[in-house]
A and B are shown apart, each in its own frame.
Chain A
Amino acid sequence: MRRAVLFAAMLAVIGSLARASDLPPDKQRSSYQDMAPATRAMQDADTDNPAMLWVLDGEALWQTKAGNAGRACADCHGDAKQSMRGTAARHPAFDEKLNAPVNLEGRINICRTEQQQTAPLPYESKELLALSAYVALQSRGLPIESRDPRLEPAISAGRAEFMRRQGQLNLGCVHCHDQRFGEKLAGSTIPQGHPNGYPIYRLEWQTLGSLQRRLRNCLTGMRADNYPLGSPELVALETYLMRRARGMTVESPAVRP
């Protein structure tokens, strides 16, 4: 009898571990809520947010003709305030031609190569960060969407990556960001790791950076083999993170410690 009770208890523990692996939507918490008042103030006022320097650059680039086609973003898309509203809230989005999800940076570069007929912008370049910040700003305040059923395979792949133990520390993303958010890792509060403010001005970096830079930062911290910027694995992870954060408010371009 005692053995049976023990077995049942073990099963319950295993069951709860399995259930704990997905963050329930009612537990979603933006890391904005855990930031110090001074850091929040930096994000709250556009005149204080250094990310707005990139937004101003992006606004100028939006109007600048580029490539063999001699076209500016504005020549096709018009006023970004209308045409780009919600765009960042639903990226990565499914691209039929590539038959794969494409993130915001990838989408900008598809426009560059196909429409403007010029070279794609490298990840973390000033121009790509500026354009993505300007486009992402147009979704500020909107809820994150993740509805397209064609994204499901990438979401599954990204989820598997999120759950998988890896690196010399033998950790998965899940162990910190689903199971231990709110606790401390050295002096920092562990965030849930949501993609709701990218590109972010990170105080640590003292510059603007993409979600993929942040993901690679985490993988380095786990002492894991890293994926190159723009790789399908990182895009899949982004796609899963957007599903995990669905309904949360876009804060881009956010400030983070």
Chain B
Amino acid sequence: MARALINIPPKAKRGEIITIRTLISHHMETGFRYTTTGTQIPRDIITTFVATYNGEEIFRADLFPAIAANPFITFTTVATESGTIALSWSGDNGFAATEQVQITVE
């Protein structure tokens, strides 16, 4: 599975806005490039990123070839309750990756 680097504070106060920073290894091949012999290199990108908080979707992004390799996405959410924040990436050629992070809300 692709390597991902997630930064979510493990603890937060109820109602606090927390920042979620994510990095995932992926070459994000645009589909616009050619090899030296003229063959088109097929597109191979992550197309969708979804974040859920205790099962409920809190953020979603559609990614295009203009997203740089090793996609970095940062967004915010309100810490509502203790539980699991799940992040999943999916894309071309059946790419799928999921990471889960526990958060304690006081």
A and B touch in the complex (CB under 8 A): yes
* A interface, CB within 8 angstroms of B: 47-48, 50, 52-53, 56-57, 206-207
A77 to B12, CA, bound (A): 38
Tier of interface size on chain B:
10 to 19
A48 adjacent to B27 (CB under 8 Å): no
Given contacts A50-B70, A52-B5, 12 further A-B contacts (CB under 8 A): A47-B7, A47-B21, A48-B21, A48-B23, A48-B72, A52-B23, A53-B3, A53-B5, A53-B23, A53-B24, A56-B5, A206-B70
Q: Residue B58 at the A interface, CB < 8 A?
A: no
Give me 25 A-to-B residue pairs in the complex whose CB atoms sit less than 8 angstroms apart, sorted by A's number.
A47-B5, A47-B7, A47-B21, A48-B21, A48-B23, A48-B72, A50-B23, A50-B25, A50-B69, A50-B70, A50-B72, A52-B5, A52-B23, A53-B5, A53-B23, A53-B24, A53-B25, A53-B70, A56-B3, A56-B5, A206-B68, A206-B69, A206-B70, A207-B69, A207-B70
A222 to B27, CA, bound (A): 28
A187 to B25, CA, bound (A): 29
Task: Kindly list chain A residues whose C-beta atoms are within 8 Å of the C-beta of B28.
Answer: 206
Task: Kindly list chain B residues whose C-beta atoms are within 8 Å of the C-beta of A50.
Answer: 23, 25, 69-70, 72
Which 8 residue pairs of A and B lie closest in terms of their CB atoms, listed nearest first?
A206-B69, A47-B7, A50-B70, A53-B25, A53-B3, A47-B21, A56-B3, A52-B5
Task: Kindly list chain A residues whose C-beta atoms are within 8 Å of the C-beta of B5.
Answer: 47, 52-53, 56
Task: Kindly list chain A residues whose C-beta atoms are within 8 Å of the C-beta of B23.
Answer: 47-48, 50, 52-53
**How far does the Cβ of A41 sit from chain B's closest Cβ, in whole Å?**
12
Task: Kindly list chain A residues whose C-beta atoms are within 8 Å of the C-beta of B21.
Answer: 47-48
Interface residues in B1-32 (C-beta closer than 8 Å to A)? 3-5, 7, 21, 23-25, 27-28
Closest residue of chain B to A47 (Cβ to Cβ) is: B7
Closest residue of chain A to B19 (Cβ to Cβ) is: A47
Closest residue of chain B to A50 (Cβ to Cβ) is: B70
A50 to B2, CA, bound (A): 13
Task: Kindly list chain B residues whose C-beta atoms are within 8 Å of the C-beta of A52.
Answer: 5, 23
**Cβ proximity bits B56-95 to A, threshold 8 Å, 1 near / 0 not:** 0000000000001110100000000000000000000000
A56 to B28, CA, bound (A): 20
